[in-house]
Amino acid sequence: SGVAILPTSLPQLHRANMLSSGLLQNSNIHPLVSKKSKTKWHFGIRSRSYPLDVMGEIYIALKNLGAEWAKPSEEDLWTIRVRWKYSGSNQIANNEANNSQNQNNEKIPDLLKIVIQLFQIETNNYLVDFKFDGWEDSSGAPVTPSDITSDEISAFSAYPFLHLTTRLIMELAVNS
Amino acid sequence: LATSSIKHNTLCVASIVRYKRKYVTQILYAPL
Amino acid sequence: SSVDVEQELALNAIRQVLKSKTSYDVLPVSFRLIVLDTSLLVKKALNVLLQNSIVSAPLWDATTSRFAGLLTSDDFINVIQYCFSNPDKFDLVEKLQLNRLRDIERAIGAKPLETTSIHPSSSLYEACTVMLRSKSRRVPLIDKDEETHREIVVSVLTQYRLLKFIALNCRETHFLKKPISELNIISNSTVRSCSMTTPVIDVIQLLSEGNISSVPIVNENGVLVNVYEAVDVLGLIKGGIYNDLSLSVGEALMRRSDDFEGVYTCTENEKLSTLLDTIRKSSVHRFFVVNESGQLVGVLSLGDLLRYILVGS
């Protein structure tokens, strides 16, 4: 095959040629770093604060962001069931119709639910976990998936959930 | 929810979602 | 001849595959999709692209909870041209957010990037057709969340991914044995080239005006020595040296990172079967056609290859 890689296009050779040919006026041009630090992922967010302080900070952040939550049960103080009016849905409603229904007359639920739970990993090391917990409609109407085949049951957009968790993490970061 | 440490004032969060029979790790970068 | 007949039969078989498979089929079983919130600064978005070794990403507008188009190298080219024509606004770029890129596009009179998308269950043939019409050479796959009817960016298909799928899944590609010189698909008369000392801003203008994604660099004898690609602009902005526009294109290429694979060349006698096999094995951006002396004859883009497979010469 006549397919080949042009030798003079390889970065190292190009730089050598530029230096030897005297064409280089601007000598402080350095190559982009090719070793990219791999993104290190964690579950949720870590904390070494006192557990009750962590919960207090989360409740304050949720309040500042206008979220609401169910009163925690005595036996489970470390779980918060949050409901959040998602502004994006109003916007969609305005875009597509006035009464938050789109052309196919489908309800666009606007209350995103999240479960926030505090776990102890080891002594003085805690993890705040965020889980998506479905949608509700502020009018109280049940959110029923439209009649779709079982194959498509999982066409699910995580972006509203991801967006609201970034808002909460920002609020916690700013407050702390 | 998966998170990565804040760099350059940018937040990065992700969650793994099943789309039909495949798995998408949806990663969102947002400003802090 | 038998080669002609085999070529035609192979193309028809490949087209059948493209009509019978969906864009969803091209998706790996498990993959990641990086999405940028439109309130992110352009500079930060650039860091994200470079850090993840990607050159494009879908945008998400949290205020409308909708997909807001794609960030591509065209946007960065627009920013550089805007700085060039508004030197006093140079610091604006430092604070520019992704949701202002359309204003920059309008300010320099650039053709807007259309955000045609398709549903993941549509055929690959339709994806190819949409992609060949799109300026961004890629097509987002958008579905709707079945509970909230919000848009989901499932993935973004590129010309390279499609050609690689064909090379991996269609055995008929082995029968594409006609030399490319006989297929009337090489762009040779319209190829714009430059020399190593051409100012990089002139090359960027060529990329933008010609709606092309690379400019070959030839020496005084017309021999191909390197290529400046649209994606190289990301390195220029990252280094903040786009304001030094006396920079030559040879100097600008000093920014390329060492993991750049190099420019692929071939001769006019090359067969599509070999080119597709190369695409199967390496991340090729395009093929430059050269003669025995290494002189530039023309260019064969991935779009040219895809168009030929779809509709012939």
Q: Do residues C301 and C208 both lie within one domain?
A: yes
Q: Do residues C184 and C291 both lie within one domain?
A: yes
pLDDT tens digits along A46-86 = 999 999 999 999 999 999 999 999 999 888 899 999 999 88
Final residue before a domain boundary, out of C169, C193, C225: C169
ipTM metric: 0.90
**Residues of A with Cβ-Cβ distance to C51 under 8 angstroms:** 36-37, 39
The DSSP annotation for C152-208 comes to: EEEEEEEHHHHHHHHHHH-GGGGG--SBGGGTT--B-TT---B-TTSBHHHHHHHHH
**Residues of A with Cβ-Cβ distance to B4 under 8 angstroms:** 39-42
Q: Do residues C164 and C148 both lie within one domain?
A: yes
Domain boundaries, chain A: 45-175
What was the pLDDT predicted at A92?
46
CATH of domain A45-175: 3.30.310.80
Mean pLDDT of chain A: 82
Q: Do residues C18 and C132 both lie within one domain?
A: yes
CA distance A159 to B19: 14
Q: Do residues C188 and C302 both lie within one domain?
A: yes
Q: Considering CB atoms only, which of B8, B26, B30 is closest to C33?
A: B26
Q: Which domain holds residue C67?
A: 2-169
Q: Closest Cα partner for C101 from C78, C134, C67?
A: C78
Number of domains in chain C: 2
pLDDT beyond 60 at A90: no
> Best interface-test mutation with A: which of C30, C44, C146, C280 has the largest number of A CBs within 10 A?
C146
Bridge partners (DSSP) listed for residue A95: none
Query: Which residue of C lies nearest to B29 if distances are taken between CA atoms?
Result: C36
What was the pLDDT predicted at A83?
95
CATH code, domain carrying C274: 3.10.580.10
Q: Do residues C79 and C38 both lie within one domain?
A: yes
What was the pLDDT predicted at A1?
80
Read off the pLDDT band of C149 (50, 70, 90).
confident
**Residues of B with Cβ-Cβ distance to A44 under 8 angstroms:** 1, 3
pLDDT beyond 80 at A142: no
Q: Do B26 and A173 touch (CB under 8 A)?
A: no
Alpha helices in C70-123 (DSSP H): 73-85, 92-95, 101-107
Q: Which chains touch B (3 or more CB pairs under 8 A)?
A: A, C
Read off the pLDDT band of C245 (50, 70, 90).
low
Which residue did the predictor score with more confidence, C301 or A154? C301
Q: Do residues C136 and C183 both lie within one domain?
A: no
pLDDT beyond 70 at C143: yes
What was the pLDDT predicted at C242?
64
Q: Do C150 and A160 touch (CB under 8 A)?
A: yes
Q: Do residues C139 and C223 both lie within one domain?
A: no
pLDDT tens digits along C264-294 = 999 999 999 999 999 999 999 999 999 999 9
Q: Do residues C122 and C202 both lie within one domain?
A: no
Q: Do C37 and A153 touch (CB under 8 A)?
A: no
Q: Do residues C213 and C142 both lie within one domain?
A: no
Q: Do residues C129 and C93 both lie within one domain?
A: yes
pLDDT beyond 70 at A97: no
Final residue before a domain boundary, out of C133, C148, C169: C169
From residue A5, alpha-carbon distances to A9, C70, C286 in Å are 8, 30, 11
Q: Do A157 and C148 touch (CB under 8 A)?
A: yes
What was the pLDDT predicted at A91?
46
What was the pLDDT predicted at C64?
85
Q: How far is CA A156 from the centre of its chain?
A: 14
pLDDT tens digits along C200-216 = 999 999 999 888 899 99
Q: Do residues C155 and C35 both lie within one domain?
A: yes
CA distance A98 to A89: 12
> Would you tell me the crossing angle of helices C124-133 and C302-311 to the nearest 10 degrees?
130
Q: How far is C134 from chain B (nearest CA, A)?
A: 25
Which residue did the predictor score with more confidence, C46 or B5? C46
Query: Which residue of A lies nearest to B21 if distances are taken between CA atoms?
Result: A151
pLDDT beyond 80 at C93: no
Q: What is the DSSP letter of C246?
A: T
CA distance A34 to A118: 38
